[in-house]
Structures are given as C-alpha cells and as structure tokens.
Structure 1
C-alpha cells in the first residue's frame, strides 16, 4: 500500500471497475504515477489488461507522438481519420477479447492535441477504461479536460502528504520510529511530496544526516539535495531561463522578500509567470505582501547552482533594492548577510546584533556574521558572538580558544569593559559547556570585585544578572530569587532587568508561587512584545517557556511554547524570514506536559527528542530532559532503557529542577522491585528540593514517594504533603497532594471525589494511581464503583470534547471558540490582551488540528458529537 493513499487507491480502482475510469490530478512530485501503478496492480488480471503510455515534452511536438507504440506500421504515414480504429485494434490485440482494455496515460497534460482527441474519442465510445494522470496548475489540452468535465471520469485530486503521512512514510522506510520534530522538518522541507521525501530519507541515512538517536530516527544536519532530487529540480530550473533563475536566486539568498524588493529582481510579469508555474508563492503578512520560493528544497537547489559571482551580484542587487528601508529584526539579519555575500562593508556592531538574532535559527549564518565582525575589529562582543555560534554547532573547543584569545587581547589593551564582556562569556562557557556551576559562580565573584574596584557599573550589573542564573541552575532557587529581587530594586538597563525578571519567574515557579510567577512572566512577555517581535529572541523564548511552566500546574491543558524543528533546543519559534520554517511544539515542555497528564507513550516519544536536542549546544535543560525521560521509562516498565538513558546522558550539576538524579534512580529501583531503596532515594530527592527552597518540586517528590508504598506511603507522607501544600498554589499539583491525603484517610467517598477532581484537571495518570491504590484496600463493591465511574468519566471527556480529541491546548480552544462566535482576530486579541499575530498563530494551529480551513467550519468542528 502507498502511504496515505489507501482511500484514493480504493476510489480509483472502483472508478475503473464500475465506471469508465478516473483522472488523477495533482502537483509535480505528489506521486500520481506511483498511485496509478498501484491502482493497475490491484485490478483483477482475468478481467482487465492495462496498456501504459507516457506523454513527454518530446512527444508533444509530434502529432500522435504519445500513441506511437499503438500505431502499427508507423504513425507518420497513417491518415488521421484511421488513428482511432488503429489504436483500438492494437489495444484489443494486446489485451485479448476476453479482457477489458485499460489505457493508462501518464502525464496527459503533455499530450499533443491529436493524441488527446483520440483518447477522448476512445473513452466517449466506451471502447476502453482510462486511467489518466495530469499535473495541476498548468495548461492542459481541452480534450483532456473534457474527460472529467464532459465525459464524467472521476476526477481525483492527489494531495501532498500530511505531516502524519510523511511520518508514517519515514517510519516505514527507516523501519523504526521517527522523532516528531524530524517528521515536521521533513514535511516542511519537502512540502509533503513523496518524490522529494523518499530520496531525502535515503540520502540522509546513507550520509549519516539521519541517524538513530535515543531510539528514534532524527535529522542532525542541514537541508541536503540528493542527486536524484537535484536532477529533477535542475530540469525544472532549466525551463525558467536565465531571468527566471536570477529572480529565484534572489529569493533563495534573501528569503521571503517584500513585493517591492522582489520586483527589483524580476518584473511583475516574470513573478506572475513563476507563481503560475508553482515555483514561487505570495502571501500577506500584516501590511505587506511577501514573495517566497514554494519550499526550502527548491531554495537549496537554487543555492547549489549559484556561482560565487552570481551570489555576489544577487546580494548587491538585494542591498540596492532595500537601501531606502530601515532594517529591523529578520530584515536586519538578511541585510547583514547580503552585505557579507556582496563583499560590502558593514559596521561590526550591526554584524554582532544580526549574529545574535539568527543564533538559534541558523547558527552557521550566525558564525559567518560574527567571524566577519571579529575580522573587522569588532573586539570582545564579536568574539563572544562567534563563541556562541561555535558552541551551538558543537564546536566547543574552538569556541573556548576564541574566547581565550579575546581575553588575552582585552588584558593587553587594558580594556575593563572588554575584560568583563569576555569574562561573562567564559563563565557562561564554564556553566553550560563545562557543567560547573560552582566554579562559574566563583569566576563571576572575582570579576565582580574587579568591576567594583574599577567603578564599572554596567559590567557589575551584567555579572550580577548572570550570577542569578548560575544560582538558579546550580540548585539554589531560593537564593536566586532573593538575589533577583535585590537586583530589581536597583536601576538596571532594560535587557538586564528583563533577564533578571525572567530568572525570578522560574524561581517563583520552583518555590510554588505560580500565581506571582504568571503575573511577572506576563510582564516580561509584554515588555518584550513592546520592544518589537524580533528583539531579544532568547529572552522572548524563555519568557514564554517560564510562563508556560507556571501555567502547566494551573490549567488542565496549558499552552506550550514552540520551537524551530531544525534544532529544537530553545523555546523560540523560527523566524520564517530566516529559516523559512514554521514552528513545532517544544519537545521538552510537550513531553513533560504529556507526562503530567498521564500520557506516558506520548511523553516518552517527545522526551527522547528533547534529550537528543539538549545534548547539543549549551544544553541548558539537559538534566531535565534526561531525568524526566528516565522516570517515565521506568514508570512504563522499561527500567533497562531508563538506565541506558542515564548512562549515555548523565544528569549533572546544572539543573533547573533540583533532585532529578535521585528521583530517576528511585523510579528505576521501584520498577525493578527494590521499593525500600526507591524510598531512600526519594527521601534524598526531597531533602535536595527542600534545601534549594523549591516547594513545588518538594511537593511533587512527596507525592511520588507516597505512591511508592501503597500500604503505608500515604499515611507516612500525609503531614509533610499538607505542609508543602501550604507553600504551593499550583492547583493541579495541590489536587494530587490532597488525593494522597485522602488515601491516608481511607474514606471511599472522599477518595472518589479526589479521583474525579484529578480527571477534571487532566491528570488521569494520578487519578488511576489513586484508583489502583484505593482498590487494593477497599471492598469489591467500592472498587468496582470507583473503576466504572472513572472509566465513564474518561470516555465522556473524550467523546464530549472535540477540542480535546483534536489535541487543542487551552489557549487554542479559547481562541477557536471566540472565532467560531464571529469575532475577528483583532477583537480576539483585544479581548484576551494578546497581539494579533499571537491570535493568528493559535488559530492557525487550531485549524490544522481540527482539519478545517475557515471560521465557517469551526462551529461544527467544536460541537460535541450526538
């Protein structure tokens, strides 16, 4: 069976068996030919015989050229009036009189007029059954159009594969599970076209770009153009001519271009022709129209053919076309890259800013910009930007050497500002790459003393801001919160203030004060939004993630952060002007949220992805990804896999969540029947969390420990859970804690109420734990009543909530509901205090999940069945 084509295969087969045939129509590369072959292969051979002809560009210029194999004696000498009968006689001779001829015409859009007329005549006379493939979006002979318009052949549109179908194709091709991020990436790169996806999968596996990592296949390199695909795309590019390829080169080098800029590279008529050919597409974004290539694969093919001279010429033309515009955000990155390609001068500070903006979306481009800035005398800031780009690409030793060279230069020049800049970067290196938070903090203290002695206030502020982060990831959440508050009482530069506020949000979540964390987090998000959507990308991404983490424990289905499917390390959506990609759910948060809700299978898949992603770059959340995956695997009865994860990706001293290692080891001990050892390890994790001031984490560990011993655990930990609840306002976690206290009280009615409360809060895993432990002690009647009631609730929750079935987040459901009531994007944004762009992003995701395309369809899609 062809992936994703079962329904269409059956429909086309039925059209041939029961009627006159079918026309398969779709874009180039969608798999029309493969589908036609599969349809023919399924026809009963005793009843039908297929004859296959293929139209080509060469046959198109010869009358009856495509029918040559069916014209005995040579068609040039044959009178046109005799062609119909000759073709029919040939078909009968080939198929036999006992079987119905099935004439398969591949690429019928390339038929010459006379051949198309013969095909139409044969079908109209019902002399044959026909299976015809046609490319969409281009001119088609009238006689071919008449096949479905007048004669009534079934017109079956062959769509590109969906993301899920590309995932199924990859899984089948690779004989193993494929990470969701890789599936999303392959789908976007190929546009869902099988003829691009299959060779890309084969090429990636052959060269090692596609490799098995944490038991899933993951793409670990940039976009490649396999030879087979390159040949196809080269032929397509050859047909557009030199002016057309120059225009495509501008978009391949410049990304999506505003229409006025695109028109400096190509005339409006040429752009219209390229759009008609399906090689470019235009879209509205805000007040401007952007023109982009149809998919990233085409862009890679164009860049592959671009000589250094053409690259320089195109870049210079793009710069000239945007000379009057004020660059900002992604446009600033593009302008800086064009200047580098064109060999034109650019101020080092502008290069450094642009390198920071594209660091996570395109670290190779970030390196190129930062290296040029350093070569042009950009000094310490350029060296730091270059070091960050090198680390992001896994070249840590090279990054360290770059920073050490910059440090020596700063000492030689006796430049205190440069010394602090590089010192901060080296301390960050020691923290994230060396995984040594205590040593990093000692380095910062020494630098801080030097800055105070030199009267360097900006340097002291930067050092103090990083110090808060080191405390936070060094297991000292309470100390980090106190340091942050002390700093926020001072007058800080905007960037430093936002970074410190961000650290305080995470510390507040760990402390269990999620309401305050949400309030501060929203302030950070709003401040970043006001500063411009492209400003401070790291802060913007982390602010959204911290806010989502706070809301995770307050809402049954929180809105999670999104990320770039190419890397996925940072909770920051890709900028389409830089990468050309749309975002995917951030695997780290997505996996944790699924774990909290009780979906172990989904959590394991996403957390495997997160472990692989966090293993690269600075690996800020490496410990969380590993710890959560190991615990979930152990809970799922797979302790050997959990041990392997811990061995290959050790939980080290850099962690936002304290106590992860003993918790993971406890889960493994419990899964292997060593309950006593598991309890000892959980007590160790509880102490670590308590000493760090992380009440939320401590409460979670207490609940986990209580469930390890179904008989005595609830009673043993009930008082400590009650104490922790007094410090925590996270509703979902508090509900789980109160359920344990109810288990200790042994009142069936109260336990039942708490189990239902957990179901209401989308914590079915905890609900089932409560049900199971209660069932071990309760009488048969009570046990059955609890189990039946819970199962009924779970079935009802799924049946009555289409949004939940579709996997909509709370925010997506909220926005989709308002849109279904007729509110515009701007009205929704004003009602929810969001940006219009944020509303459009959530609404677009809701459309995809509900499989609808407009507001008109939302009401029906959100209405419960029955």
Structure 2
C-alpha cells in the first residue's frame, strides 16, 4: 500500500527549514544590500527572528559583504562589552593616552571597521535587548555613523537599553515586526520536517496550540513524535492522541514567566483554569491592576466578543504549562472558586454549563444532573474525552439510566466497542421498561452492527426489539436501522421497499435516521431526485430535534454528496464534501473528517484524482482504525484499492484487497457492487483484461439483481472501457434509462460511440465528461477518439485528439488505465494483439497467456511476433515501455 512501510522520522530541531519569510528576506536584502541601511527585527519569543537573521546574514555574505555576529545573554549583560568579547581584538591605548569610555568605544569601533574590506561590515546582534549599556552604545554609534551595518533582533514587549530603542525611534534603523506564521507556512514547515503528507486536522491542532510560533511548533512536534501520538499511518501523518508540552517547552514558558510577582502568578494560574474570564469573575478573584500589568507584558490578552470584554492568556501553551505545574490542592481551590463565581451570577450563558462542570470535576461538589447535561453538551461538541470524564463523574454521584447509556455510547464512539457491548448487556439486564430496552437496542445496533459489521446479529436484535415494542417513534427508529441491514444483506431494492413506508409515516428521530439508508439506496437505484429529497428531509428533521440522535446532522450531507456524484454533479459534490470535511477539522470531529475523506475518494473511477483519492482513503482508514470501526475500514479499502488499480499499481491494489479480506467482515451490499468493481480494476492493472471483463460482468449481473443500478451501469461502462464495448451496448442502453442524471446518459453514449468506432461521437462524449468534472472518463474518451481517427487515416484529427487526451490525463495525474495507454500503439494493434500484448507486458509467460485466452501457445507466439514487428520492439521490457500511458505520471 502506498506509503505503508515508510520509516518513522524523528524530525529533530535541526531539520526545520525557514518558511514563510520570503517577503521579509526581500525587504532585508533591499534595506541592507541595496540601500546600506541598518535593520531591527522585532517579535515575540519563538517567532523565528533569530533564524531569519541568520538566513539574512548568509544572503549578505553571498552578496559580498563581510559578516560578524554576536549574541547577547542575561549573563553577558552584566559585563561591559561582554557580548562583543568573541569578535573584538582591541589594541591597548597608546602610552600616555587617557583610556576613558569614549576612547574605548572609538577603539572598538575602529577594530570592527578594520575587519571589513571594500564593503562595510554587516554586524548581526541577536537579542539586542539584553545588551549591556556600553555594548548598546557601541551598536548605536556604529549604526549612526554608517561605518557598520547593523542587523539586530529584539524581543517585542521586553525592556531594552536606550541606545537600542533609539535605533528605530530616531530613524537610524528600520524596524520590521515579525508575527507568527500562518497555517499554509506551518503546513509547509511540518510537511518538510516529517518528510510526508500531514493530515489537515493535525496541522490545525498544531497551529492552534503553537499560534504559528516556530519554536513552540518544533517542540510540540518533537514531543508528539517522542510520545508516539504523531504517527505516519498508511502514508498520512496524523495525531492519534493528545499533545503535551516537552520539558524544553516547559522551561521556555517558565523562562517567559520568570520575575512575576506572587499576585501576577496567581492571576495567571486562575486564567489558565478559567479562560476566558469576564470582568465580573476577574473582580471577584483578583485585581484589575494586576491584569493590566500582565497585559502590558503580553502574558494576558483581552478581546471584545458580543459586547463583552474577555480575558485570556497570551498564548495557549502558557495555560498547559501552568495547569501541569499547579499543585493539586491549589488547582482544586481555583476550580471551586471559579465554579462558585459563575454560579453566583446565575450561569446565564450556554457555555457556562460546560465550564462549571469541568471545574467541578477538579474542585468537587458536582451534582449528577449538571454533569450529565454537560456530558451531553461535550459529546455534541465532539469532545468525547471530556464527555466521558463528565458522565463517569455523574455515575459516581448516582446518575441513572440515561447517564449509563451515554457512557456506553461514548465508549463505543472512542473505539472501545467490546467494553461498550458489555456495559449495554449489563444495562439491558437492569432495564425497567420497554422504552429503556429500545434505547439499548438502538445503541447496540450502532455499536455491534453499523460500526462492527455484525449484520445477521443486527437483524436479530432489530427483529426482537420491534416485536417487543408497540407502534411508536422508537419502533420506527429501530425499523430504520433494519433498513440499513437489509441494504447490506439484500441490496438497495430491498432497502427501498422497506424504507418507503417509513419515509411516508415517520417523524422526528425515526425520520432523520430512515432518510440516511433511504437516500443512499434510492441513489444506488438511480432515483437521484428522490435521494436528494430524502437527504434534505432527513437533515431538516434532525436539526429540528430538541434531543439529538446518536448520529450527527452532517451525515445527510454525506448522502447528498453520494447522490450528486451518481448524477454526474461531481463539482457540487466535491465542494460539499470539502466544506464538511473542513467543518470536521474545525470541530475536531474525527468521525466527520473520516466520512468526508472517504466520500472525496469514492468517485476516483470517474474523476481520476488518483493521488488525492489515495490520500483521502488512507486518511479515512487511519481514523476508522483509531475509532475501532472495522466495517468502515472495509468500505474505505474498496476505494483505496480502486484508486491504486487505476494508477496501474496492481500489487498495491491487491494488497489493499487482501487487507480487506483479512478484516473478515464478510460480504455485504453496503457499497453495492463496488467491491467487485475494485477487483475488476485490479485485474486490468495487471493487464488481465479478460479477467477484468469477467469481474465487471459479475458486478453488472449482481447489481441489476439487487437493484444497484448505478453500480451495474458503472460495471458495464468499465467492461467497455477495457475493450469490450460491443458486448455491453444493448444492456447499458436498457439500464441507462433507469438511472437519472447526465452521468448515466454520457456513460451510455461513450459505450455506443466505442462500439460504433465513432471518433466524432467520442469527442462529444469527452467534452460532456469534462464539463461535469469526470476528467478520467474525458481523457479516456479523447484517447479512444484518437485511436479511431488514426484507424480512419485522419492524422490531423488523430493528433488533435491525442493532444487533448494528454492534457486531460495530466489533470488526473497518476491515472494509468488501459484506455490511456499509448494511442499510437493501440491504433496499430488488433484487439487480439492488444490483449496478448497487455499480458506479456505484465510479465505473463506465453503458456499462461494461452491458458487465460483459451488459445494455443503457438497462437500467442504468433500474435506477439506481430506485436513486436508492428511496434519495433524485441523484448517484453521494451514492450512494456511501448505500452506506456498517454501521460505516464505517478500519483502525487
């Protein structure tokens, strides 16, 4: 599997390169090299001013300037000219001369100027705010007289000697203020350091925690690697646990907090637990003057939100370090005081519930109802870890059935399905009425069936529960779960038959859930508009609920995107899925990220976005592995295999199928006949087009039988795409009328144009596919057109179509399907020769080819001799090169 066996890297601090500072480097070069001006780089700790200064000095050195560099420290700050000791070799004063301060500074300046040559010396002064007074005066005088060009760095908000302040206040030097890096630059830096693709959610978390501070970012990454929570999982670097500050990072933060008064340290600790604090809480727990002092030091920051002043720490990592180092008794006292402070004001805001409950976890005094309500809130904010802490605390305080059920749900959501099943079993034995049993059944259906793939067990649970419940919304909700199981067991037709009565009568939670398998099954049957309507109705029903279901409203967007893809509205589906994926990143919802990563990978057989599809499928697999959802891993492996096969990577595609087999989930129609399609494309990737045809034929037969018209249509189209169009024309024409949308109609037109050897028709089909965003299909149709123009002897049209095929293929980089293989070669060979050539190029022996094609070895030898003669090759290796793709690029 692509990237599967990549070695883990340590991403040591020396591997991080400078990123995101091109504009600043350009400004530095203009000021120093072109204008000869001095510059001061200012910024907070860790923003990269020293690193930028080092890089700039190398630029100046390359431009021919002599370079010297000094670094000020707190230790050297107590010694006159201490920072300059490594670069100054000052002659003793002449006999009888008065060696006063002015004379010493002049001799120092002369010594530095003497180090230069034809061009002025560029002197780098790192941490100039720590210079002693004499060193600072020397720097000012050098810059003022322009005898030396100064490049200094200073820490924003820190006191500095007057001569250093005078550098920019008097206009002698330009001051450039550096901020933290943005997310694109953080992405570039982390990707380069780790040497591979990094999950967007990991980047967002690292960005949030570091705020673009490169020093903090490096330490967070180093700590995550050391703790094993940042991993290369199937080619994607992901966070699989919580980030924690390293010892070095703790030391850096503590150095920043050094020198605080007891009152200031106390307020910092309070804000670390309570942020954001409002003015009322601040007045109750501290002094406004202390807060103002900390804000001037940039250790606190204020903002206005909805006309309310809020106080936060200057950086998120300050809070993490402070909370870890506060003694337990002190932490309890702070948390209790914060909770009481908010409770005293009536806890009017929605966010107060979670804040109070979180403080009560630490400080004690929790009421079970408060903790339960807060756990529900945390669960719907995707903070499953906090939700589980809160609900366990509620249970310890005597909470009842609803809390115990939520605890089991959270265990399941966090990937502990066995533990959840045990808890649900215990809960079922203590249930007191049919409603409680119904809730348990719903959760067991999610945990044991939807997440784990135990279909037969799920059907049994659903049947028993429906029999034990009177007609009600809950019974309908269980029936809706059974629809999904019927989809898996019997296919879309049976699911639609079962769901249509529910869509007519169900309300509330039952309707919201029924619309999910309903939308999916209707779409697979080709009833696209009904599927889109079901997705819309399900979403509207769910957002109106006062008590949320166990599935999130964005699930309906997944089924909406599914239907849009089946209709050929690929660009709409991509925009929807990308937006919902990004929403999952922002909300820290692993489940949502996985669902829409998977959705973005699914249309690869039409769109040909090979590299993106592989990455998205791998990302989804990694998340579902973390969540303990084998059924969903199974789904994603189908499309990973398909993407790899379409890239011509037969071994990797088969490895993904082997992984799927090893999961042991057993056959299902959850994904229609797409598993058979993946097997067919794996055969095609190995040049075994006849076996591919058989798999596509099996998929078409099964798809029609179970009502997966979309899958059957794709299978018949694939059958034609690998060279057997005339065999499928009648069937695909008949089936095409059962599937709504432009994609189905254009698939049929493509097959008919192939069967008729119609180059003009193929050009029209290519344009239609391109317009809908199906670039792989567009490229194949253009390549097919070129082949038939060549056979017709129209060289000008052949070249034009081939150029178009090459351009389209370059837009779906990595695609390597039979239809894209060299047009010139395909035009010269008969279908029988092409078939034998594909297998020979894949490494098959003549005997194996003969067995596969059901001909004699002699016939194979004759066909290959004709192939070699027509193509001017002498070996199988040369033959493989001759069969190269139109634009043979590897997935990026």
* TM range, smaller chain: 0.7 to 0.9
Q: Determine the structure 1 residue equivalent to 2:714.
A: 700
Q: Equivalent residue for 1:610?
A: 620
Verify the 8 A CA contact 2:477 2:511 in the aligned structure 1. no
Shift of 1:594: 6.8
Offset of residue 664 of structure 1: 1.9
Give the Cα–Cα distance (whole angstroms) in 1 for the partners of residues 82 and 92 of structure 2: 11
Equivalence for 1:810: none
- 365 and 485 in structure 1: CA distance in 2 versus 1, 3 angstrom threshold: same
- Cα deviation for residue 595 of structure 1 reads 6.7
CA deviation digits over 1:516-567, x for unaligned, max 9? 33334334444555568x96583222123333333444252442346999xx
- Pick which of 8-17 and 384-393 moved more: 8-17
1:262-282 per-residue CA deviation (whole Å, 9 max, x = no partner) reads: 665555555555555444555
Greater CA deviation, 113-122 or 253-262?
A: 253-262
Alignment length (residue pairs): 779
Matches within 5 A, 1:510-525: 510-525=524-539
Partner of 2:465: 447
1:367 is aligned, of 366, 388, 394, to 388
Q: In the alignment, is residue 486 of structure 1 matched against residue 504 of structure 2?
A: no
Q: Distance in 1 between matches of 2:319 and 2:489?
A: 44
Find the aligned partners of 2:294 and 2:772 in 1 and give their Cα distance: 52
Q: Please give the secondary structure, in 2, of the residue aligned with 1:52.
A: strand
CA distance in 1, matches of 2:282, 2:786: 68
Q: Structure 1 20/326 Cα, relative in aligned 2: closer, same or farther at 3 Å?
A: closer
Query: TM-score normalised to the size of structure 2?
Result: 0.77
Cα shift at 1:440 = 1.0
Q: Is the 8 A contact 2:577 2:599 kept in 1?
A: yes
**Structure 2: how far apart are the matches of 1:295 and 1:589?**
36
Which residue matches 2:402? Answer: 381
Alignment partner of 1:322 is 2:342: yes
Within the alignment, does 1:642 sit opposite 2:653 as a pair? yes
1:34 aligns with 2:55: no
Which residue, out of 738, 755, 758, partners 2:749?
Answer: 738
Give the distance between the partners of 2:594 and 2:422, measured in 1 at CA: 35
**Structure 2 residue 174 is matched with structure 1 residue 160:** no
Q: Tell me how far 1:232 sits from its aligned partner.
A: 0.7
Counterpart among 170, 189, 205 of residue 209 in structure 2 = 189
Once residues 299 and 24 of structure 2 are traced to their aligned partners in structure 1, the CA distance between those partners, rounded to angstroms, is 26
Distance 1:575 1:738, change over 3 A: same
* Distance across 1 between alignment mates of 2:552 and 2:127: 52
Offset at residue 240 of structure 1 (A): 4.8
* Distance change >3 Å, CA 743–CA 265, structure 1 → 2: farther
Are the equivalent residues in 2 in contact too, given 1:50–1:103 (CA < 8 A)? yes
Kindly indicate whether residue 555 of structure 2 is the aligned counterpart of residue 542 of structure 1.
Answer: yes
Aligned residue in 2 for 1:416: 434
Aligned to 1:621: 632
Among 34, 37, 42, the residue aligned to 1:20: 37
Checking the alignment, whether the CA contact within 8 Å between 1:512 and 1:727 is kept in structure 2 is yes
Quote the Cα distance in structure 2 between the aligned partners of 1:723 and 1:288. 65
What is the aligned partner in structure 1 of residue 727 from structure 2?
Answer: 716
Instruction: Compute the displacement of 1:74 (Å).
Output: 13
Q: 1:104: how far off?
A: 1.4
Give the superposition deviation at 1:762: 1.9
Report the Cα offset of residue 128 of structure 1.
0.9
Does the Cα contact within 8 Å between 1:556 and 1:732 map onto a contact in 2?
A: no
1:615-648, CA deviations, whole angstroms, 9 ceiling, x for partnerless residues?
2325363233211111101111222222333333
Task: Name the TM-score, length of structure 1 as normaliser.
Answer: 0.79
* RMSD across aligned positions (CA): 4.1
Q: What is the CA distance between 1:32 and its match in structure 2?
A: 1.4
Q: Partner residue of 1:813?
A: none
Alpha carbons 1:246, 1:265 under 8 Å: kept: no
Unaligned stretches of 5+ in structure 1?
A: 798-866
* CA 592–113 in structure 1, closer or farther in 2 if over 3 Å, else same: farther
- In the aligned structure 2, how far is the partner of 1:240 from the partner of 1:119? 30
Separation in 2 of the partners of 1:774 and 1:782?
Answer: 9
- Aligned pairs for 1:11-90 within 5 A: 12-13=28-29, 15-18=31-34, 19-44=36-61, 48-57=65-74, 79-82=100-103, 84-90=105-111
Change (3 A) 1:590 1:327: farther
Matched ranges for 1:307-318 at <5 A: 307-318=327-338
Write the mapping of 1:116-515 to structure 2, written as runs, cut at 5 A.
Answer: 116-136=136-156, 143-144=163-164, 146-148=166-168, 150-151=170-171, 153=173, 155-250=175-270, 252-253=272-273, 256=276, 270-271=290-291, 273-281=293-301, 291-293=311-313, 296-323=316-343, 324-325=345-346, 331-348=352-369, 351=372, 354-355=375-376, 357-358=378-379, 361-410=382-431, 414-452=432-470, 457=472, 459-472=474-487, 474=489, 476-490=491-505, 492=507, 494-515=508-529
What SS does the corresponding residue of 1:539 show, helix, strand or coil? coil
Query: Quick check: 1:63–1:113 contact (8 Å CA) kept in 2?
Result: yes
Unaligned 5+ runs, structure 2: 1-16, 813-892
**1:591 has 2:639 as partner:** no
Q: 1:796 to 1:171 in 2, by over 3 A?
A: closer
Find the aligned partners of 2:260 and 2:701 in 1 and give their Cα distance: 69
Check the 8 A contact 2:776/2:809 in 1, yes or no.
Answer: no
CA shift for structure 1 position 195: 1.2
- Kindly state the Cα deviation for residue 675 of structure 1 after the two structures are TM-superposed: 1.3
Contact 2:303 2:311 in 1 (8 A): yes
Task: Give the 3 Å change call, closer, same or farther, for CA 312–729 of structure 1 in structure 2.
Answer: farther
1:217/1:491 CA distance change after superposition, 3 Å: closer
The match for 1:2 is: 18
- Matched residues in 1 for 2:195 and 2:406: separation? 41
* Preserved contact between residue 349 and residue 378 of structure 1 (Cα < 8 Å): no
1:301 and 1:595 mapped to 2: Cα distance?
49
What SS does the corresponding residue of 1:778 show, helix, strand or coil?
helix
Query: In 2, Cα distance between the equivalents of 1:78 and 1:432?
Result: 87
Deviation of 1:672 after TM superposition, in Å, equals 0.8
- Equivalents in 2 of 1:247, 1:733: separation in Å? 65
Where 2:648 maps in the other structure, the secondary structure is: coil
